[in-house]
Amino acid sequence: MRQYSNINRRDVLATGLAASTLFPSSAVAAKTEEHPVALTSHGPVRGYIRDNVKTFKGVRYGADTSERRFQKPVAPIPWQDPVDSFDYGAASPQRGDREAMGEDCLFLNVWTPALADGGARPVIVYFHGGAYNSGSGSHSLYDGVNLVNKGDVVVITVNHRLNAFGYLYLPMLTGGAFPDSGNAGIWDLVLALGWVRDNAAAFGGDPSRVMVFGQSGGGAKIATMMAAPAARGLFHSAATMSGQQVTASGPLNATERARAFLDAASIEYDDVESLKTAPAEKMIEALSAVDPINSERGLYFGPVLDERFLTQHPFWPEAPAQSASIPMILGNTKDETRNLIGNREPDTFDLTWDEVPARLARHMRVDISPIEVLETYRRVYPDYSPSDVFFAATTAGRSWRGQVEESDARARQVAPTWVYQMNLPSPLDGGKWGAPHTFDIPLAFDNMEKEGSMTGTGRSARRVADQLSKAFINLARNGDPNHDSIPQWGKHNLPARETMVFDEETQLVSDPRKEERELFAKVPFIQWGT
């Protein structure tokens, strides 16, 4: 059982507690007004108070996965004495530097106004981005204090297994061993949502009003769960931000990727014992393998159509019937690729017209003539520069297109759906980023001043943050995002495609970017990696 020896000094000091709290005596630690104790279904946890919000970080919801590598997660062994929940738990092993990583990573974080008071508050559960490869629920932008104080809600963020630890598909290489390996990371999220159901009331929440929301990979995980029988009934509304999962990986492609990974890790395909015990560091190094399906890209990991967790693609050929009654918001930013591509290839901000077609061919991720794309954009947007065209077309072809597929599928299903487009530009670097990928995270959390935010704190940003965060709170509370600070937000219907455009002036628009949508509708959409 995880015990905590490292308290987050910044957050503890922010509570105004005496310095002795950093090394508390038993008498001080027992003061529930300073360190509230919540009784979870597995045992008691002790948190702290910041800005009137009871905060619990690193709460265990699952057992150490190093002992169940590539398998479905299980509940932890119950404990009796309160466990300090002052600091975030470890993130899943991944490439890059983090303060704490490890296979013992099934932890979540809770922010709440009150404990076990019968308040029946909506519970808002956030799944982090980073595709299926990286990230954690501990980023400063995901801090739940402002949402709690604004909406009288409970906020939860989650860690779970990623990359090969969560999505390496092994059954066809191991004679049927590890049958749940291709979706182990999303099985973790199902276990976390079961924890939310069982513990919502202990944290002042309502288990019948659980909203999941997530950005990028977090949204894709939600889309996947909407089609998964194991997740049925665990959440009651959903919001995805720049995160779609129209199709999943097939088992054959997933198996080829597993071969490439195991080759890079120097592990025999059928060596079950080595698969269970290989050092995590060795596996992280193997993540740099080239993707065997598309050698121009890194190795893809994501959900697999394994006939266990997934028996159908998430949103193909239609929206999943099991989630047709779930109210859902789908949103994207107008300039997704300005940072997704621009950060890696800074010369894309200075393209010439002659250079655009080749760059489009590399980055659109759909099989369409880049010459036709270029000509269409120059006709529709005559004031656009070559770089403007590049970023707009790559956003539409590779990022926004999945949202169009999902929202239109739900409209055909007559499912309660609201769509937004974030147009408000970032003020950073002279406005070069537009409204880029991740821009709406601090707006949804009302965390514009946190490290990593690109929104600034000007009047328009504050207004849009208030509008978007209230919309998410209202979706969680009422199943409808409408509130007094925005125009009436009509549901997404065909052919009108009503879309709330958040900008210097927020307004409901019918079928924005119609010409772009029609251009890319010429070609079938299959999600990258699947």
Residues in the chain, total: 530
Which amino acid is located at 390 in the chain?
A: F
Of 85, 92, 216, 237, the active-site residue reads: 216
HSE-up of 449 (CA within 13 Å, CB side)?
A: 3
Report in angstroms the alpha-carbon separations of 529 from 223, 246, 249, 272, 316. Answer: 16, 11, 7, 26, 15
213 contacts 472 by C-beta, under 8 angstroms: yes
The span from the CA of 358 to the CA of 309, in Å, is 39
- Map tokens 């009331």 to a residue: 201
85: phi then psi, degrees, rounded to nearest 5: -120, 65
The span from the CA of 3 to the CA of 253, in Å, is 41
Residues sharing a CB contact under 8 Å with residue 101, sequence separation 6 or more, in sequence order:
90, 91, 92, 93, 94
3-state SS class at 299: coil
Which amino acid is located at 210 in the chain?
A: V
Beta pairing, strands 205-215 & 154-158:
unpaired
What is the widest separation between alpha-carbon atoms in the chain? 73
Q: Is 216 a catalytic residue?
A: yes
C-alpha closest to that of 223 among 333, 160, 316: 316
Residues sharing a CB contact under 8 Å with residue 224, sequence separation 6 or more, in sequence order:
186, 245, 248, 303, 310, 314
C-alpha closest to that of 100 among 110, 108, 90: 90
- Map tokens 């909407």 to a residue: 226
HSE-up of 4 (CA within 13 Å, CB side)?
A: 26
89 contacts 128 by C-beta, under 8 angstroms: no
Whether the upstream peptide bond of residue 425 has omega within 30° of 0, thus cis, is no
HSE-up of 76 (CA within 13 Å, CB side)?
A: 23
Which amino acid is located at 229 in the chain?
A: P
First to last CA, the chain: 38
Residues sharing a CB contact under 8 Å with residue 146, sequence separation 6 or more, in sequence order:
445, 446, 447, 469
3-state SS class at 7: coil
Residues sharing a CB contact under 8 Å with residue 357, sequence separation 6 or more, in sequence order:
370, 371, 374
Q: Which residues are known catalytic residues?
A: 216
